[in-house]
A and B are shown apart, each in its own frame.
Chain A
Amino acid sequence: MKIKIDPVLKKVLQDFSKSYQATRENVLRGYDFEEMRTALAGLKDRALDRNDELLARFEEKARAHGSVVLRAKDGSEANDLILKICRDHGAAKIVKAKSMVSEEIGLNAFLAKNGIEAVETDLGEWIVQSAAEHPTHMVLPAIHLTRGEIAEVFAAKTGKAVPDDIPSLVRVARGEIRREIFAAQAGLTGANALIADSGAILLVTNEGNGRLVTTIPPVHIVLASIEKVLATVGDALTLLRLLPRNATGQSITSYVSFIAGPHRDAQYIILLDNNRSKLLADREFRDVLRCVKCSACLNVCPVYQVIGGEAYAHIYMGGIGTLFTAWIHGLQESKDLAKLCLRCHRCEQYCATKIPIADLITALAEKINRETGKPLWKKMAFDGVMGRPAALKTAFAAARTGRRLIARKDGFSRKLPLWLKKYDRFRALPAPATRPFSAVFERDFVPAGAGRPGAKGGVQIYAGCLIEHFYPEIGMAAVRVLSKLGYEVKLAPSGCCGFPPSNGGFRKASLKAFTALLKDFNGDEPVITLCPTCATMLAKRGPSIEGSEKARKLGSRVIPFSRFVLEREENAVRPMTGEARKKAKVTYHDSCHHKNIFKTEKDSRKLVATALRSEIIEMDEADACCGFGGSFSVDNPEISAALLADKLAAIAKTEADIVALDCPGCLLQIRGGCRRQGMNVRVAHTAELLDAI
C-alpha cells in the first residue's frame, strides 16, 4: 500500500486535533468522563444483548405512529427498498442529511444508475459530492479541502465566480441546498438512535439540514443500522449527554430532534443488518457495535492526522473503521488498513463507549493471518525467530559477532543499503551492544545501598530485548538505582516476552515466546519492567492468552520502574548533583503503553522533575506516538518518519537539553532521529536520569 502524505492536509488535521482536544477538555470540565462513558457503554451493551427484542419493540411502536418499518439484510436489499419507495412516491430527487450508512451501501451511485438524483444537504457532504470526492472524516467530511478549492468547486457548480471567504461560501451553499430541499420529493436521514419505547428516532445535528430534510419533502426515509436501537428516552439522553461533548466539544449540538411518525405523507424506516448480526454474535468483536460514531478516535489518531481519511478508510475511517470494514465489506478490504494502526491505544482514552480498538485490531490481524495468509517477512521474523527462543538467542548472538562490520564508533549502525534505506534514513539505528545486559550485570554488578544491601527485599528486573541487546547501560542504571535504594536486585529471565508477534497477529508464536519465558520465572518478588510494551505483555496480554494461574500471578507482580520507585521511594529521590548543577532543561515524551495502559506518565514526570530539580517543559502533543510502533515502522516507514519528524520538532521547540522517556523503543526512534537531524539533545530513560540519587 503506497501512502502519500499531503503536508497541507496533515497540518489541517493536526491543527484540528489540537483545537478539538482543547475544546473537548473545556466542555468536559466539571463532568466525570469516565463515569459518563461507563454509563453509556453499559447501556449500549445491554441494548446489544436485547437487540432483537428492542428492534421488535421499536417496530411495533413506530408502526403505531404510522411509520412503515422495513428490514434489509444487506446493502443491496436496502438500496432496492429505497428505490422502490422513491418510485412509489414519484420521487426523481431525494435530499439527504449526513448518513454514513448510505455511504456504506453506495446509495447515491445506485440511485443515480436508476435515474434518481440524491443530493447531499450537510454542507461538508454537499461539498464532497459537488467535488465528486468521498468524505474523509465522519463528522467533517470535507476536512481535506481548503476554502480555495471549495470556491472553485462552487464556481464550477453554479457557473458564477464565488469569493473564497468562508461566510460567502456558506451563503452560496445555503441558497443552493435550500432550493434542492424544496424541490425534492423525499428526504433521507440516518439516526443517532432508535428509541424502542417510543418508536422515535433521534437526530443530532448542527446545521439544521436534518430538520429541513425531515419536514419539507413529503416523504421521510430513515436508513439506520440495527445496533442503533436503545431502550428508552432516558438512554437516548445519556447518549446525548456525551455524544456532542466527545464529538465536537459542544455541550450540545444546535439541533436535536426526537421524531416519531411521518410528518407529511409517509415515513419509512429501513433497519439495515449488513453482517451486523454476525458481528453481534461474535463475542470477541461485538464491542465494535458500541460505537456511536462520535469520531473522537479519529480526532486523536496520530496516523489519521498524517495521512487523512482518504488513505485510512474503505468507507469507515481509522481504527474503528477498519473493524467495521472487516465485517461489512470483508477481510480483504481491511487487510491494508489493519497495518496502519499503531496500536498506541490513544483512541481508547477518548472513546465514548470504551471500545478496546487497539486490542481488537490485534485480534483482527490474527483473523486476517488465519483466514487470508501471513506476510512472508513477518512469518520469518515472528514464526521463524521470535516464536523460537533458541533461534532468537542465536540471531542476537550472530548480530553481536557481526557488530564490527556494522557498528560505528558512536554506537549507531552504518547506514542500510539499497531498498533498506527507507528504514533508517529518518532515524539512525543502534548497533548491537558488545555484551548483553544480563552478561554485564553478572560481570559488573556490586550490591550497594545505605545500611545492609538488599534490606528492603528482593526485586526482579525484566529489561526486555532492546535493553538486553542494545541498551544494557539503561538496565545497569536501573539496577544501581534500586540497589542503592536498598533492594536486592536479581535478573528476571531474559527472553522475548512475545509482544511483537502478538501485535503482528501471530498468536501461536507469541504464545510460544511467552510460555517459554514464563517457565523460567520464579519467586514472588515484584517484577520491575523498563519497557512498558513488555510490561503490557507480561501483565496483561500474556496472562490473557496463556491463561494459567502462574501467568496471572506473574502479571500481578509486574510494575513499571517509575511507578515502583515513586510508590515506594518518593522521599529518597533527591536532586542529582551533576545534572542539577548544569541546570538541565528537560522535556518528557509519553510512551504509548506507559501512558495509555499503565497511566504512569505523571509518576515519571514527578520523578524526573525531582531528580533534576527542574520543571518539565511540556512539548506539544507529548502523548503523540513517536512513530516507532515495532513492526509498524517496517510496514509504514513513511508514516513513521512523519510522526518522528513531528516529535523532533516538538522537542526542538522546547529547547530542552534532555528528553526523558520510559520506553527503549521510543528511545531508539527519538535518539536515532536526533542523530540524523544533528540535534544536540540527550535522550534518556527515566532510570538513567535517576542513576545519581
Chain B
Amino acid sequence: MIEKFAEMAKAAGAEVETPGNLAEAISFIKKYLGKAGLDGALISPDLKNRNPFDREFSGLETKLCGCNLWVEAGFVAADYGLAETGTLVHLDRSDEEKNVWTLPEVCFCFLERQKIVPSAEAIESLISAHLSRTDVSSPQVSFITGPSRTADIECRLTIGVHGPSRLVILIVP
C-alpha cells in the first residue's frame, strides 16, 4: 500500500521521500532550507507543539502578516494517506493550519506510514465524525494531492498557480 501511495502521489506531481526515521526527515528538510538559503517556514500548529518538532523547528517559524503574502516553505503533518490516489488527508482544526498547506511555495508534509489506507471510503466514518464535531469552530477535511495545478491556459498543465508548486511528502515510520 505504501508503494501504491508513493506511485500515485508521484504521478500527481508530488515528491516522495522515505527517510528511515524522524531525525532523518528533519535533517532532510533542514538541508533543503540551507541549500535554498531559507531561515524560516510556516509551521502547522499541530506539528510545532509536538515532540521532536517543537525542539527541532524552534527558531525556524515565520509568521504570516498582511504585508508579506509570500512564504517560501511550510511544514505540515497529514492525518491519513489514501493509496488509491496518492492523497494526503488532513482533519483541519484551525484556519492557521489550513493556510500552511496552501500559501507556501514548497510544502513539506509528514505522513506516518501506518496512516496510509487504501481509499477515502476506508475513513468515511472518520470524515463524517470530524465534520460533525461541535468542539471545533469550523471542522474541515482536506484532501491534498500533488502541488497546485492549472490547465487554464491553452490546456497546458502548469504547476503552482495559487498553492505550492512543490509538495514533498516524507513517509516516516
Q: Which residues of A contact B (CB under 8 A)?
A: 12, 15-16, 19, 61, 64-66, 121-124, 127, 140-143, 145-147, 150, 166-167, 169-170, 173-174, 177-179, 182, 195, 197-200, 206-209, 211-212, 215-216, 232-234, 237, 240, 248, 250-264, 267
Contact = CB atoms under 8 A, between A and B. Distances in A.
Contact of B137 (A66, A142, A232, A257): A66
Given A170-B160, A254-B12, A259 B140 contact: yes
Contacts of B37: none
A173 B150 CA distance: 12
Interface in B147-173: 147-156, 158, 160-164
Contacts of B95: 215, 263-264
B110 to A, nearest CB: 19
A263 B162 contact: no
B84, B152, B155 — which one has the most chain A CB atoms within 10 A of its CB?
A: B152
Contact of B148 (A19, A127, A206, A258): A206
Contacts of A259: 138, 140
Contacts of B147: 254
Nearest to B99: A215
Dominant secondary structure of chain B at its interface with chain A: loop
Interface stretch (B27-35, B38-46, B124-132): B124-132
Contact of A263 (B11, B103, B127, B138): B138
Contacts of B163: 207-208, 211, 254-255
A141 B152 contact: yes
Interface string B36-76: 00000000000000000000000000000010011000000
Contact of A216 (B70, B99, B134, B139): B99
B18 interface: no
A253 B140 CA distance: 17
A170 B162 CA distance: 9
Given A140-B152, A211-B98, A64 B145 contact: no
Given A166-B156, A174-B162, A255-B142, 20 more contacts: A61-B132, A65-B134, A65-B139, A66-B138, A124-B152, A127-B153, A140-B151, A142-B152, A142-B153, A174-B161, A199-B131, A200-B131, A209-B162, A211-B162, A215-B99, A237-B120, A251-B86, A254-B148, A255-B163, A260-B132
A286 to B, nearest CB: 28
Given A212-B102, A261-B137, A123 B124 contact: no
A65 B69 CA distance: 30
Nearest to A167: B158
Contact of B154 (A122, A146, A197, A232): A146
A252 B151 contact: no
A261 B139 contact: yes
B101 interface: yes
B121 interface: yes
Contacts of A66: 137-138
B153 A169 contact: yes
A179 B161 contact: no
B144 A255 contact: yes
Contacts of A195: 131
B8 interface: yes
B22 interface: no
Interface in B68-115: 69-70, 84-87, 95, 98-99, 101-103
A64 B134 CA distance: 8
A173 B141 CA distance: 27
Contacts of A142: 152-153
A249 to B, nearest CB: 10
Contacts of B137: 66, 261-263
Contacts of A209: 161-162
Nearest to B142: A257
A251 B153 contact: no
Contacts of A208: 102, 148, 161-164
A209 B163 CA distance: 7
A173 B161 contact: yes
A59 B138 CA distance: 16
Contacts of B103: 212
Contacts of A145: 153
Contacts of B98: 211, 215, 263
